[in-house]
Amino acid sequence: MGRPDRPAPRAVTAAVAPLRLRGQLRLSERGFLLEMEDGHVWRLNGAQDFPPLVDATVIVEARKASSSLLDVLWLGPA
């Protein structure tokens, strides 16, 4: 807690804010992909039951798991 004459130390966290990305939702043999305007393609981990949005522009909120993989928190139409 700290001493009365000193403030308690602040906790440092390594939490990273989720990304909010916009692109085209694609379906491959191995799952869903997000194709960005700049040509980068993300694999989407946890994306399921989105066939109505395939080939549509979508917004994805996700955490970056690797240089090409996103852990999806939310996905919806743009």
* Segment 48-63, tens digit of pLDDT: 777 789 999 999 999 9
By the 10 Å C-beta count (0-12 exposed, 13-18 middle, 19+ buried), 5 is classed as exposed
What is each CA distance from 47 to 5, 58, 66, 72, in whole angstroms?
Answer: 51, 12, 16, 6
Q: Give the 3-state secondary structure of residue 44.
A: strand
Q: Kindly list the domain boundaries of the chain, sorted by start residue.
A: 20-77
* Residue 35 bridge partners (DSSP): 24, 41
* Segment 18-46, tens digit of pLDDT: 999 999 999 999 899 999 999 999 999 98
pTM of the model: 0.77
